[in-house]
Chain A
Amino acid sequence: MKPYNFFLVGVGGQGTLLASDVLALVGIKVGYDVKKSEIHGMAQRGGSVTSQVRWAEKVYSPLVSRGEADYYLAFERLEGLRYIEYLRLGGVAIINDYKIPPVSVNVGADEYPDEERTQRILREVTERVYFVPAMQIAEAVGNARTNNVVLLGALSSFLDVPPESWLEVISERVPQRYIEINRQAFLRGRQAIKIADLPKKTNRV
């Protein structure tokens, strides 16, 4: 079984940890040994939250080293830059096309990186960068809080895991009355990655 390393980063409150829970459970469902690690100390207070998930036949360390993540999933544009060195050269970066400026930017003490600088930094690591308008999609589906599931949908396009496996895990993790809306969010996120962008070898189910 091909091993995968995932690195997730977001802003406290965006649902990064729920996404990493789902990612871990999906790996277990399809037969991997899985370990995941997270730092969520004070993150609810709007700080940066990271989570690492590893799928392999046998996982030892729960930590992903720099340059060893196959997939980098960022819930916000600035966070998309913050730990990009964890992505392997040529790996896949999926970034929520959404800005939450930190307080230092709001008071004018700092500058939010512009588009040109953002692209330049990302391209030093990989050309395979996918900006997904997850917030817009989530709002269109009916609830902005599903933006994390939209991003999982986008990630799922790249993996040889049937979408049903993802949807079953998601259904178990969200309140029952939100199952359908999360299902829609996941599928729309999956559709956000065009087939032409996927590597030729992928069997998209």
Chain B
Amino acid sequence: MAIGAAYAGARALAAMKNVGVNVAADALFAASVSGVEGALVIVSADDPSLHSSGNEQDNRRYAKFARIPCLEPTDSQEAKDLVGVAFEISHQFDTPVLLRTTTRISHSHSLVEVGSRHVQEPASPREYRIDVTKYVTVPAHAFLRRPVVEERITRLSAYAETFRFNRIEIGDRRLGIVTNGISYQHAKEVFPQASFLVLGMTYPLPTEMVRRFATEVKQLIVIEEVDPFIEEEIKLMGIPARGKDIFPSIGELNPEIVRERAIVAGLLPAAAGAKVKEPDKGHLPARPPILCPGCPHRGIYYIAHKLKLVVNGDIGCYTLSFQPPLNATHTCGCMGQSIGVAHGMAKAGVAHRPVAAIGDSTFFHAGMPALVNVAYNQSNVITVILDNRATAMTGHQDNPGTGKTLQGKDTVEIEFEPLARAMGIEETYTVDPYDLATVERVFRHCLKTDKPAVIISRRECALLPKARKEWKSLRVNAERCNGCGLCFRVGCPAVLASEEVDERTHRYKARLDPLLCTGCEICAQVCARKAILTRAQL
């Protein structure tokens, strides 16, 4: 979409996590070949230390791979300023531009001075310039673009020499540090007096500036997170540089790591080290993210666990079902993987019935082609579509199934059951995941038929405003509870052990936290002694 807008002459920006660029890569390479009419900026929010990602890929490599420039801010001010700069560079050099951040830039706040708004009102409708040789990238045309793209990088490299976000700070000349992004800030904490070459454009490098800097300092080191991307380029230029032999290539950097590694490398005296007291904490219970109290997914995964299903999962809140005690998700890699992996397992001939579980949003984003494949091949994959009426994990955005756009306007509400049937999957059922008996009955039915099946689990996320209004915390009847612990097995954070021990079983009776419990009644259905009072009973 961003490419289309840029082709039409607009300034377009698409933002995504590091892994998102993998999905966008096909389109990105095509846009690099064709160039743009307006401007196209791709923001890649990388994630060293995997704070919320499945891999630590360093997307600066995409810039070199696709022959597009890469810009990196060192703080919030530069993050703002570089957007406008990126649009200018994109238009001037006829290239997509990668604007790359890492988590400590993306999830940090620092002071920003804003300028004045320049509102550009384009002609409406836009005049579209047809240029078939440029924009229809059949081999004959794409071949003509190859030297254009190579020459573009040469011109950008010359531009980089005077790019104002590339700057040299001369201090103590015994140590010259080449750095980028948040690493600059960490390095300033540890080496306040050193000389710095800060790169706001990390591809292509300003080679003359780098050479000049190298002659002005006694020793040159590179401080960058994850890949030795800058270090490799500098070494390719024949300039001696140290980098990953000192600093780690796994995980993010921080002042402590930079300081400790610098001491080991002899760049700082040992006395510079921090006086850290690591108290002997022993083992502390972990507190990982888990399914919220009232989460509708809990109903599906409790039954999946009960039926001992092997579940190929996907990306969303429901991924958290892998945690104990539910232990109900066994693979999860990238968006849309669930159905394809289950299908592949079916073709490989596993003993278990292949079951895939995918969220409503993930399904629209990446699951549909995979389900078409299952239907087309008549494979016996059972696909659960977890429809909680929102894109919950990323902040409850709307999606094509909710009937509202991101801007809150009414729109079509794409329904899963007709969609699955249109693909030719007859065994299609919609269940309320709060109704455990029905969930189990439908699963058992689908397991008996050897046909492709779709189970739509439909119940809104417990955190949505409408659902919140319905919250009503339940109560345990302590007289009936015998501490059997069955309710703990649903893994709900609202189900706690009370202080009271049952006389016969010698186990802690259950209690429900009144601030956390939403009244979904899943635990009440699981209780064998009807010791948890339902809404009707309260």
Identify the A interface with B (CB < 8 A).
11-12, 24, 28, 33-48, 59-63, 65-68, 78-79, 81-82, 84-85, 89, 100-113, 117, 121-122, 124-125, 144
Contacts and interface: CB of A to CB of B under 8 A. Distances in A.
B290 interface: yes
A33 B111 CA distance: 7
Given A65-B274, A67-B274, A105 B189 contact: no
Given A62-B104, A106-B495, A35 B285 contact: no
B292 A45 contact: yes
Given A45-B289, A65-B256, A107-B489, A113 B107 contact: no
A11 B513 CA distance: 15
Interface residues of B, number: 57
Given A35-B108, A60-B189, A106-B495, 6 more contacts: A33-B111, A67-B276, A78-B285, A102-B286, A103-B324, A121-B279
Interface string B315-328: 00100100111000
B493 A103 contact: yes
Nearest to B293: A46
Given A42-B289, A44-B292, A106-B496, A61 B186 contact: yes
Nearest to A63: B254
Contact of B254 (A24, A40, A61): A61
B66 to A, nearest CB: 28
B185 interface: yes
A6 to B, nearest CB: 13
Contact of B109 (A36, A41, A66): A36
Interface of B: 51-52, 75, 103-104, 107-111, 182, 185-186, 188-189, 254-256, 259, 274-292, 317, 320, 323-325, 393, 463, 485, 488-489, 491-493, 495-497, 508, 513, 515
A106 to B, nearest CB: 5
13 contacts: A47-B288, A48-B287, A67-B274, A68-B274, A100-B513, A103-B324, A106-B488, A106-B497, A107-B325, A107-B491, A110-B285, A113-B284, A124-B280
B278 A85 contact: yes
Contacts, number: 160
Given A60-B189, A66-B256, A124-B280, A108 B104 contact: no
B274 A107 contact: no
Contacts of A107: 324-325, 485, 488-489, 491
A165 to B, nearest CB: 17
Nearest to A51: B107
Contacts of A59: 110
A125 to B, nearest CB: 6
- Residue with the highest number of chain B CB atoms closer than 10 Å, among A33, A41, A100: A41
B495 A63 contact: no
Given A28-B111, A48-B287, A42 B320 contact: yes
Contacts of B255: 61, 63, 65
Contacts of B284: 78, 81-82, 113
A78 B286 CA distance: 9
B495 A66 contact: no
